[in-house]
Every structure is written in C-alpha cells, then in structure tokens.
Structure 1
Amino acid sequence: MKIKNYLLSFLFFGMLSFPAQVLAQAEPDDIALAEDAFQDNFYESLKQKGIENYDKAITALEKCLKTQPQNATIYYELGKNYLNLKDYKKAYDFFVQASVLDPKNKWFYVGMYDVCYQTKDYSQAILVVNKLIEFDVKYKEDLTSLYMYTDQYDKALALIKDLDETLGETPQRNAYKQEILKDSKYRVGEKDQLLEAIKKNPKDESKYIALIYLYSESNQEEKAYEVAKKLEKEIPDSEFAQVGLFKFHLNNNDGEKAVLAMNKVLESKKIDSTVKFKILKEFLVFVKNNPQFNTDLDKAIGYFDNENQVALTKEIGKIFYARKNWERAIHYLEIYSKNNPQEIESNIFLLQAYTESSQFDVLAKKASNLIDFFPLQPDFYYYSGLANNQLKNYKKAKEFLEMGMDYLVDNKNLEINFNIQLGEAYNGLGDAKKKEQYFLKADQLLKQKK
C-alpha cells in the first residue's frame, strides 16, 4: 500500500534571518540569508548536501546554529541531513524542534512523516498525518492507508465512507474496502448502509453492485439475486445486474440462462476485467460437471483480448490437467503452446497429457520439435524416448534417452524415468543384460527416495 503521496524535496533560497511569524508558510528554501558568515555557512551546507557529504553539511549547519539558535530552518535542514544519513532519531528530533519554533510550517511535519515512513513507524505516522491534515486535507488519503497498515479497520472504513461521499470513489479505496469486508463482522453494517443508500437513490448503480458482491461473498445468493433483479428493474440496461443473475442461475444449475448472463458481462466495456476473470473461473467449475457447455467456454475465452486469451488457455489447460480431463487439457494447452512455442512448463504439461491419452505419434513429433528449441532440456528427450518406445522404434528411443541423460541435473524422478525407458528400449532391442542394468539402476534410485 502506497502511503507517501505528497512528500516534496526542495532547496532553500532567501533570507534565513527573517522572523518566523513573517515566514509562517514559506518553504525554508525561500528564506533569505542576512549575515555574511551565516550565509557562507548555510550555502556551504547546501553545497555539501548536494554532493552527499552530509557530515560536512551538518558541521556547517551547526555553525549557523551558534549565531541563530532560534532559526527553525536550520533545525529542519539538520533533520534532512540526518535523515539522509539514516540517523532517524536525530532527524526526527530536529524536525520536532523546528516545528516547536514554527508550528505553522507544514514542511517540518512532512519531515517527521518522512522519518515515520522510512522506519515503518505507522502508529506515530498517524499522529503526524492528523497534524498535516490541518494544512492539506489530501493527507486523508494517506491516513486511510495508515489505518490499513495498523489494522484499524473501523477507522479506515469510516474514513473511506467519508472520502467516497465527498471526493468520489477510487480503485485504491475500493480495494481497501473489499479487504476489510472479508471479515464478516464489518459486512452487516455495510449492507445496511447500502440498502439505505439504494432507498435514497434507487438509480445509483454502484450501490447495487457493492450489495450484490457482499451478499455473494457471504453465500446469500437469494438476496444477491433479489438485488440484481431490482437493479435490472430500476436500470433496465444495467450490465452489472447480469453479474448477480449469472451467479443465481449458476447456483440453480440453469446453464442456458447463466451463459446468457455471462456473455453480457464479458461483452461489457464497463465491467472490470477482474470481475470477468472471476466469472469465467466460476463457469469453468460448472463446465466440469456439465461438459455440454464446453463450446460456450471456448466462446467465453474469445471475449478477452489476445494476450489475456492466451494466458487463460494455459491456466484453464492446467485446471483440466489436474482433473485428469486429458482431452480438454490438450485442447487448451495446444492453443497456448502454439502462441508460446518456447515456454517450457506448459509444453511439459502438454507432453504428459499426450502420454496419458496414449497419443504417442503426436507425442513423438512434438517432443522432437521441442528438442530443436531446447537442446539442453532433458524432459523433452525423455518424452521422445518414451514415445518411440511405445511406437516400437527402440533404436531411436535409445538414442534420444542416452543424449538426454547427459543433461540431467539433480532431478531424481526424471532420472528414474530415464532408466526405466532405457530398460524398455534395450528390452525391445533384445539386449537382456543392458535391460537388467537400467531396471536395476531405476530400482536403486527408487529405494534411495524412500
């Protein structure tokens, strides 16, 4: 969570000897220098700070302090130099001294905030930011983040509500709100507030959406459906209503209506992609037990842009792979492999899926092509050897396997598989001695694993 939004860096120019009350809101850089000796030392401090000689800058500032011990700007500059040296205690103390001398200059509090931020002292930062809010209400955004950091969710939620009403919603605050509302104890009050807001303004689409999500998250699908239907009635062309309707139809095992609602969501230009991804994943779970909707799943992926389509095919392929649905796993992994021919992980999944479904001709061709891309990747030699063994091309299998063994490094499982396949190859070639040698080696490796 980003909390430093308003820290500024600046150089000092002007007459440092002016009374603090005249310079109440001037940046220290704007203060003029009155005395020659003082001026020389102050500019020396700026010069040394500019070339990161912070110790020398501090020495020059200490000379300034001897002639003007009540000059708040000198304490501020000392704070900045000690902060650069990461001497946080001294830095904070000097910023505090500056603020005591000139409590109306916000930059001194910014310095304190900077120390709190760098030391992750968020509790102290809250005290400082509350002071900064007196100068600039924009610091309320920082305060929201600080409440999140310190797990003060009641205060964060109240502040988020206030900022949403006065400034409008932001993605960051919405993310915070969603995080807070994962805890059920905060949901009841939020639901009541949303219901009241809808009653006051039945055309505020955002409140319906938030309420649908809350009901869905707490498994109150009937209530989510009621809100979605009400939204559809109040705002007939609302695309967001379809999110709630999709969930309801899916839970009722009504695939046809769920698909219609899903497609409207996926077509929407307004609905965030994270919502679309979530709906697609929920539909994927549904398709597992309802394969008649496989074509609709393919169509759903087509709604995403090319880059996201490709990424989705890999993830969906892996999901089907984990469920041992080899046909569907191969379907999606092939799409991904075609677009990412040089990505290793997905191709290993694809080769294993070919193996599980006994597509050894395809396996042999694919593994051989991958060896051209990855001549040092032992997995592809293994699958090539396995495929050729199954196709009774034992000599070819032996050659691939022996080449691949040279690239094995700290992979016991793959080494066992190599030895088994080499045993099979030599068995097919009629070399009983070599067959026993490799099978014995595989057995020894298996015992070492136990």
Structure 2
Amino acid sequence: MKNPLYIFLLCFFFLLPVTAQEKEAIVDEVNEDDLGNVTDEFQEHFFEALKQKGIENYEKAIIALEACLELESNNAVVYFELGKNYRELEEFESALENYKKALALEQREDILVEIYHTYRSTGDFEQAILSVRELMEFNPDYKEDLANLYMLNEQYEEALRVLDELDEEEGVNNYRTIMRRQIYARTGNTDAQIGNLEEGIAQDPENEQNYLNLIYIYSEQGNEEEAFQTALELLETNPGSRLVHLALYKFYLNRNKPDAAVNSMKIVFESEEIDPESKFKVLNDFLLFVNDNPGYEKELLEVSQNLIEWENTPKLYEELGKFYLKNDKKEEALKFFEKGIGQDPNNFELTKNTLLLQIEVGRNEEARDLSRDALEVFPAQPFLYLLQGVALNNLHQYAEAVEILTFGLDYLIDNIRLEIDFYNQLAIAYKGLGDEEKAARFKDRTEELLKELE
C-alpha cells in the first residue's frame, strides 16, 4: 500500500499554482523580450498556454492564447504559439492562418520554418517551395530542401539544376548523389538525359558537372566504357578536376591498372571538394584492393594517416583495425582500435572489440584499465564486467575479479551463454583464492546451464 503522506504530497504539488521558477522553466523556449511590454494578466494567460502545451493539452493552450489576443490583438508571438498548437491538433488550415498573421507582424526565420513544415506535412509542395525560397533569404542551407521539394513535386529538371548548383558551390555529397539517382530512376528517359548532357558539354566544355552527370548515367546503365571515356575527356578538358577521380579509380581497378587507381584514390583523399562519406567508400575499396594486393599496404597506411589528419574522424581507425584483424595482424589491428577509442570513448562496439583483442594478445593490464574506464560510460553493460573479470583473473587479481563479476551479474538478463561465462570466471577466481568449495559450486552451475542449452 502506498504511503498516505506520499499521496497527500503528490496531490498537493499537482494543485499548487505555477510559481515564478516554473514560469521560467516553461518559457525557456520563448524569449520574454519578444512579448513586448505586456500586462501581468497577459503574462498569466501566456504562461498558462505554454504550461498546457507542455502537457499536450493543446485545446486549453489555445483558449489561454485567445485570452491573450483579447488583451493585445497584434502580438506575433501569440499567433505563432497558436499556430503551433493547431498544428499539433493537425488543424493545418488554422495553423497556417495563425503562422501567416505572425509573419505579417514579424518577418522571422522560425515562423517561416513552421509554415514550410506544415505545407510539407500536408503534401502541398507548391506552397512549400515558395516558403523555402523565402527561407533561403534567411539561411541558404535550405537550398538542399528546395531540390528535394522539386523532386517530390515532379519538377525534375529544376531539381537537377539546383543539385548542380549545390555541387558546384559546396562539392558533391552522398545525400545529393542519392537524390540524383532517385530522379533518374523516376524519369527513366536516360536517352534524353544523355542527349541533353552531351549538348551541354558541347556548348560549355568547361562545365564539370555535365561530365560527372553523364559518367553517372553511363555507369548506371552498365556502359562502363562510355563512362570511362567521358571521365578521360573531362580530365583532358580539366586536368585539375578532383571529382572525376571518384569514378576513375574504379575504372582503373577494373582495367588492372593499380598504380593509376592508387593515384586517383590519393587525389580523392586529398580533395576538400569531396565529402568524408564518399572518401570512406573509396577507403573501403582501397582496403579490399590491398587485401588482394598486399604490396600496396605501405600506400594504404600513408593515405589513411593523412586522411585521419584531414578529416579528424575516429571511424577510420576502426575501419583500419577491422582490416588488419581480418588479415590476422592482431597487433596492428589493436594499435588502430586503441587510437580509435582514444578519439571516441563512447563507441561501445569499438570498446568491446578492443577489449576482446587486448585479452586475446595478453594485454591484460590494458584490458583491465580500459574496461574500468568503459564502465563509467556504460555502467549497465554486463559484457564489460565479464571482460574486466577475465582480465583480472589473468592478472591473478582474484579478489577484485570476484567483486566485479558478482556486481556484473546484477545486470544480466535472460542470457544463458553470458551467464555461463560469468560462472566459469567466478569458478576460476575462487579457485585462485583457494576457496575450492565455491569454485566447485560455480563449476557445477556452469555444467547445469550447459545442459539446458543442449
């Protein structure tokens, strides 16, 4: 039975009026200066509206906001909040009506964002496009949204035009490449696209994007020879092109020209125009290539180290570690895993793989210390307690092993195999302490669980 005092206090707190501190928390999302010079009565209604919205009672929030409008009919913040509450109720026409009233009073980016999202939610892409064009005056980053909206509205030529502009301004990225692929798949008229691109190249041979788009279409069609020749043509027209090497390295690999392929890969890695995700894909291809051509391992290490410095990402350490582990070069793999953990201690999968490898190669002190640090980040992960227990047993620190393994068992839920490992390590620890009785008990428990698995 619940404590009556607890129930009384619970009711008491729910019945309390909104305090000044609570108001401060509720209006954290609203700058009080935006309200202007308003009366205390206005503020009470407004804070009540925010409180009701916070507990998803949107109808009551609207009533409170309408009370604000009776006191002050030209407050953009009130109309903006009304729009948000109507949108939560999926009354989109009322939401847009209030957003537009707010925008008429104050030209603000956040109001335009809500208008854009509302039009997009209702599938009115024509109006969403107009909203995004306005938004771009505040923030040009919305240009990528514009391309996406053109695609959704089946204005494919406009979408491709915007994508070309973005690639020229910012360099290629994986998201826009996928969008192009979707557009080409939807239109299906590749012959017309090829004709348009060839005409564009003839009229403006300096336009790199036309070549790149043509290479992509030929590649999608499986016409690698035409794609390769187009890439070479681009390189001849623009010897300084970096983007063309995203295609060239693969063509060279397929033609068994490894030196040319490695050279193209290096150019990709050094380019500031190419996004990190595309570089990771090239690196994966490089890893596969070195796997079959170990003579190029020195070049792999060289470009990988440079890429780590340029892109400053621990993901590369992890990928290199996996590569060396796959090739049974455990010390090399561990070196990269440990560098990755140093940069990204919140990566559980990398932590787990590093600990397993440290234990396997006999680096038990490092495993003990790393698992201890990792448990501060992942205190409810039973696998980390187990690995620390293994490391401690290997170091003959049996008392500490018993303590950490016993503690870790509290986090173990419905995992018989892991439970077997815990009991096996506890048997080893108690035997090390000379407690043969407890060691035998845990050994017997291990045998019982093994029979359950049969």
More helix by share: 2
Amino acid in structure 1 at the alignment position of 2:441: Q
Confirm whether residue 365 of structure 1 aligns to residue 365 of structure 2: yes
1:264 is displaced (CA, Å) by: 2.2
- Distance in structure 2 (CA, Å) of the matches to 1:292 and 1:163: 44
User: Normalization by structure 1: what TM-score?
Assistant: 0.65
- Distance in structure 1 (CA, Å) of the matches to 2:144 and 2:313: 36
Q: 1:437 aligns with which of 433, 437, 441?
A: 441
Alignment check: 8 A CA contact 2:147 2:158 kept: no
Amino acid in structure 2 at the alignment position of 1:444: E
1:225 is displaced (CA, Å) by: 1.9
1:142 is displaced (CA, Å) by: 7.0
- Distance in structure 2 (CA, Å) of the matches to 1:402 and 1:181: 58
Q: 2:243 aligns with which of 220, 223, 240?
A: 240
Select the structure of larger CA radius of gyration. Answer: 1
Structure 1 unaligned spans of 5+: 1-9, 14-42, 65-72, 389-395
Offset from partner CA, 1:396-440 (integer Å, 9 cap, x none): 164453132133121644432232244456678998765543332
- Distance in structure 2 (CA, Å) of the matches to 1:280 and 1:429: 50
- Distance in structure 1 (CA, Å) of the matches to 2:130 and 2:341: 57
Q: How does 1:217-296 map to 2 (within 5 A)?
A: 220-296=223-299
Confirm whether residue 410 of structure 1 aligns to residue 412 of structure 2: yes
Q: Which residue of 2 aligns with 1:92?
A: 93
User: Normalization by structure 2: what TM-score?
Assistant: 0.64
Confirm whether residue 58 of structure 1 aligns to residue 69 of structure 2: yes
Offset from partner CA, 1:211-252 (integer Å, 9 cap, x none): 334444565443332222111111223233333221112233
Alignment check: 8 A CA contact 1:144 1:159 kept: no
Confirm whether residue 152 of structure 1 aligns to residue 156 of structure 2: no
1:301 is displaced (CA, Å) by: 1.1
1:298 is displaced (CA, Å) by: 1.0
Structure 2 unaligned spans of 5+: 1-32, 50-63, 377-383
| Percent of aligned pairs sharing the same letter | 22
- Distance in structure 2 (CA, Å) of the matches to 1:321 and 1:257: 27
Q: How does 1:60-209 map to 2 (within 5 A)?
A: 60=71, 80=80, 82-83=82-83, 85-86=85-86, 92-93=93-94, 117=116, 119=118, 122-123=121-122, 125-129=124-128, 145=145, 148=148, 152=152, 154-155=154-155, 157-163=156-162, 177-183=176-182, 184-186=185-187, 188=190, 189-209=192-212
SS at match of 1:154: coil
**1:421–1:222 CA distance, 2 compared to 1 (3 A):** farther
SS at match of 2:412: coil
Of 187-196 and 402-411, more deviation after overlay is shown by 187-196
- Compute the RMSD of aligned alpha carbons: 5.1
**1:175–1:258 CA distance, 2 compared to 1 (3 A):** closer
Alignment check: 8 A CA contact 1:57 1:81 kept: no
Aligned residues: 385
- Distance in structure 1 (CA, Å) of the matches to 2:262 and 2:243: 15
- Distance in structure 1 (CA, Å) of the matches to 2:170 and 2:291: 33
1:80 is displaced (CA, Å) by: 4.9
- Distance in structure 2 (CA, Å) of the matches to 1:226 and 1:106: 58
Amino acid in structure 1 at the alignment position of 2:257: D
1:299 is displaced (CA, Å) by: 0.8
**1:327–1:170 CA distance, 2 compared to 1 (3 A):** same
1:312 is displaced (CA, Å) by: 0.9
- Distance in structure 2 (CA, Å) of the matches to 1:240 and 1:166: 15
Of 432-441 and 407-416, more deviation after overlay is shown by 432-441
Alignment check: 8 A CA contact 2:113 2:135 kept: no
Q: Which residue of 1 aligns with 2:59?
A: none
Amino acid in structure 2 at the alignment position of 1:336: G
SS at match of 1:182: helix
- Distance in structure 1 (CA, Å) of the matches to 2:438 and 2:223: 65
Alignment check: 8 A CA contact 1:318 1:349 kept: no
**1:179–1:404 CA distance, 2 compared to 1 (3 A):** same
